[in-house]
Structure 1
């Protein structure tokens, strides 16, 4: 059923792939939405195209590989919602993610880029905005079944996660040999495991809301996630893997984007902290349920991100 409630939805990774589809669906489903895109590049054309769908769309320039940039964008949203320049904040959608072909890509802040974008940036968005989300609102983070690590979930393309102390994961060279594609992909699957750990911890620490969810789209051929991969991998993702979308092994961008929108608007009933596997709630991997790791990761990530946020936002 179409909803007309005026609200703000903040979204990363909405300029292409499943995020673009999800953004269109959200605006169609909730015409009263003001969709705020956090986007590194010029989003003028994307904003104009999305506004044809309905609702209102604006963009805040944001480099997810710069934690100060992420904080400034989130603080801008919080200020504008508080001042009444934006409708009440209804949802935060952390859809953007990166996968590199090594563990040697370093951000301006000195962190390994995969961990910085897939974990630290999302944490700053949550910590800055969670207290501004209206009652009944939700935070949805796009995760990945690569965190499971078996053949059925990754088709042998991505190694399973290897958990290490956070200070090691957050910096370059965590996996050996650090300059190889396998190391970069291990960093990716491990970052997605970390994201699930934090979702569990968010649900535990903030039981009164906002509700938090991990959304797994499954294998989605044709996205930009492998744009930095080797030639063979790019060829396979573009020309071979799309054939798998007729099977349960893969999902089209259109379907994955539509399901992401459903997770955001609440069509898929789920308790806070749940793992939404495409169109239903499921258990994530056995390894992903570890209260000690979840608490330790929270403490470490709080320590790493606090210097990039004003003290009054770290309550």
Structure 2
């Protein structure tokens, strides 16, 4: 038996992927890090697939909440309630209609959940991973910032100093939808930077990859959007899933499960686009930015 810790498994492609992992690998004990009130339905559904599922109440937008959850998992491993940790899937992601949402710690919420939470959790658990182990962080091809990958819906990332992009109002006209989507694409670029830096620091046998599921309409990511965007995401864009332009939630979830289980082969530090490792954007390879972001999130971790 081994443990897989997963965020973002209570809805959308994460929920589909979690069920597929449990069916395909009966030796997995799945730990869901999610808010208790929103995770109960998923917990019940996943326990119908396997009894080896544990929910740990977690607020990914709170540094204290993340630390508390990590300590709870740590105790369960120490006390033998959970087997050795061999996998982590940071699949949680948020997107807002502005760049003003702020966590209790003062960080912009998109950055806090999509970037900072993954780093804090990996730092909390890095001593627990037993090789061979795989870490996966879900990112997005919106980090390319071109029409081919965004269809003009999501603006290109706008990188600046990490201490700037981590704070509310980091982008022009911060109260607008464009700013919220810029925060999203920028957070996904940041996540790839951290994957590259983590790959250089993890021991041999503990691999980390970034994973792009592609456009998956109707998953709930746009739940904070306006009525027109919600209508398009629920009723119009799903029609694209019968084309190569988009994926259904069920197909994307299966592919995510394959990546988590290591069926999709890729060396540590790779960017997996659905079913294969490919280069991420040219902008995503910048060791100076990667180190600066690492130093910033480490400062957040130690200072709080």
Could you state the TM-score of these two structures normalised by the residue count of structure 1? 0.94
Does 231-240 or 135-144 show the bigger shift? Answer: 231-240
Question: Matched residues in 1 for 2:89 and 2:203: separation?
Answer: 19
Contact 2:7-2:34 within 8 A present in 1 as well: yes
1:226 match: secondary structure? coil
> 1:311 maps to which residue?
none
| 1:118 partnered with 2:114 | yes
Contact 2:70-2:121 within 8 A present in 1 as well: yes
Question: Matched residues in 2 for 1:49 and 1:241: separation?
Answer: 27
Question: Matched residues in 2 for 1:75 and 1:146: separation?
Answer: 34
> 1:16 maps to which residue?
11
In the alignment, structure 2 segments of 5+ residues that lack a partner are none
The 5 A counterparts of 1:167-246 are 167-246=163-242
Question: Matched residues in 2 for 1:131 and 1:302: separation?
Answer: 16
| 1:32 partnered with 2:27 | yes
Alignment partner of 1:59 out of 43, 46, 55: 55
> 1:80 maps to which residue?
76
2:221 match: secondary structure? helix
1:220 match: secondary structure? coil
| 1:273 partnered with 2:276 | no
Deviation at 1:209, TM superposition (A): 4.4
Deviation at 1:77, TM superposition (A): 1.4
> 2:278 maps to which residue?
282
2:118 match: secondary structure? helix
Contact 1:19-1:95 within 8 A present in 2 as well: yes
CA offset digits 1:148-175 (Å, max 9, x no partner): 0011101111001010101111111000
Could you state the TM-score of these two structures normalised by the residue count of structure 2? 0.97
Question: Matched residues in 1 for 2:255 and 2:154: separation?
Answer: 23
Alignment partner of 2:250 out of 254, 258, 264: 254
> 2:129 maps to which residue?
133
Contact 1:130-1:210 within 8 A present in 2 as well: no
CA offset digits 1:246-272 (Å, max 9, x no partner): 111101100111111101111011100
Deviation at 1:207, TM superposition (A): 4.1
> 1:49 maps to which residue?
45
Contact 1:33-1:55 within 8 A present in 2 as well: no
Question: Matched residues in 1 for 2:41 and 2:196: separation?
Answer: 37
Deviation at 1:205, TM superposition (A): 1.4
Deviation at 1:82, TM superposition (A): 2.7
2:53 match: secondary structure? strand
2:137 match: secondary structure? strand
Moved over 6 A (4+): none
Deviation at 1:307, TM superposition (A): 2.8
Contact 2:36-2:56 within 8 A present in 1 as well: no
Does 36-45 or 113-122 show the bigger shift? Answer: 36-45
